[in-house]
Structure 1
Amino acid sequence: MSDLTRLPGSLPAPLDDGSCAHLPGLEVPPLPLPATDGSQVDLASLPGRTALYIYPRTGRPDEALPTDWDLIPGARGCTPQSCAFRDHHAELRGAGARVFGLSTQATAFQQEAARRLHLPFPLLSDAQGRFTAALRLPTFEVDGQTLLRRVTLVLRDGAVEHVFFPVFPPDRNAADVLAWLVAHPA
């Protein structure tokens, strides 16, 4: 099994193909999403700023990675990205943003990851794909699964204020979001 906490040095970097160009300024639809803390989160109704990092899937130490996972640009790194948001959580909150992660994985799977990684914020499940479809988020296919491509949104009062895409390397994303928040105070 692979060490999910470390990024291999030879990962291919994703390219900006324009698939997120429509997101800045977009109003988030009122779609409550199940969260790992047992709540339902409607991102459209949250006041102020929210950092929403969107990732393909969290791996488990006892499972093999999907086929050719390290060869898919931007696929590898969900655990390091989540851990970076965990490690910067207090600073992100101090900069005025709440934090959520979002994937298409089921809530029960995400709950295991949130416990194992000691995340101080909830992960949101879009297993039904309604949020993905409403925002026209970029996806890719692997092993018969449709997964989200890695993108981070800064939401402000229910609208997309800023987009980080492509996100690479994923373990630096939280620091990049924090730097942007500090440079653009609310």
Structure 2
Amino acid sequence: MANQRDLLDVDWNRIPAPVDDGAATHLIGAKIPSIFLIATDGRGIDLASLQGRTVVFAYPRTGEPGKPSPVDDWDMIPGARGCTPQTCSFRDLFADLRAAGADHVFGLSTQDTAYQREMADRLHLPFAVLSDQTLALVRGMKLPTMQVADMTLIKRLAWISDNGRIAHVLYPVFPPDRNGPEVLAWLKANPPR
């Protein structure tokens, strides 16, 4: 398998964009199920019980610079490439997201917590990343997924919930590095009540 290049230097014109397959339409207005997920900061988080406004951005899997991609044609799978740019967009806008009403911000993937913790430390994230390694939340919410190299991965999306109920969903997300600004724009246009 080919080693991953610089994870932030991506020409989005050369990467196939995902299409809206309707796999997230059921999420708007849905109540998040009560499922505890382990966070990179060691906490157990139940998204259903969080009070206030929560932003969750989900992605297939983050890579490590210089390490092999899960499959040789990873970049050509629509929606696969861009987990690090997406995460960095939320990192760079974290203070703005909080100022615009986000009480909580989380990343989410099906990778294990140890893998996520390395990434969170390397990227200096000011928020925790949640592991759904057992796919409990994926199944409970019927999140859109894709199968790659015998792995079930979450298709890239973001949602904003108020007191455990989803108010807005961004899906599909492309290019990933614009996801943070898109969420921020929605928060500013839709202040919490």
TM-score range, shorter chain: over 0.9
Following superposition, the deviation at residue 7 of structure 1 comes to: 1.8
Q: Report matched runs for 1:7-46 at 5 Å.
A: 7-9=10-12, 10-46=14-50
- Residue identity over aligned pairs, in percent, reads 54
Aligned to 1:174: 180
Q: Which among 65, 72, 76 is matched to residue 69 of structure 2?
A: 65
Q: CA RMSD in A?
A: 0.8
TM-score (ref. length: structure 1): 0.98
TM-score (ref. length: structure 2): 0.95
Gaps of 5+ in 1: none
Gaps of 5+ in 2: none
Following superposition, the deviation at residue 152 of structure 1 comes to: 0.3
Aligned to 1:78: 83
Structure 1 stretch displaced more, 1-10 or 31-40: 1-10
Aligned to 1:124: 130
Distance 1:33 1:66 in 2: 24
Amino acid at match of 2:130: L
Moved over 4 A (4+): none
Where 2:107 maps in the other structure, the secondary structure is: strand
Following superposition, the deviation at residue 183 of structure 1 comes to: 0.4
Distance 2:38 2:168 in 1: 24
Following superposition, the deviation at residue 8 of structure 1 comes to: 2.7
Amino acid at match of 1:53: F
CA deviation digits over 1:129-157, x for unaligned, max 9? 00000000011111111111001010110
Aligned to 1:94: 99
Distance 1:62 1:124 in 2: 24
Query: Matched residue pairs, number?
Result: 186
Distance 1:143 1:20 in 2: 23
Aligned to 1:109: 115
Distance 2:109 2:97 in 1: 20
Q: Which among 49, 52, 73 is matched to residue 53 of structure 2?
A: 49
Where 1:153 maps in the other structure, the secondary structure is: strand
Distance 1:38 1:78 in 2: 22
Distance 2:52 2:17 in 1: 32
Where 1:160 maps in the other structure, the secondary structure is: strand
Where 1:51 maps in the other structure, the secondary structure is: strand
Aligned to 1:5: 8
Following superposition, the deviation at residue 19 of structure 1 comes to: 0.5
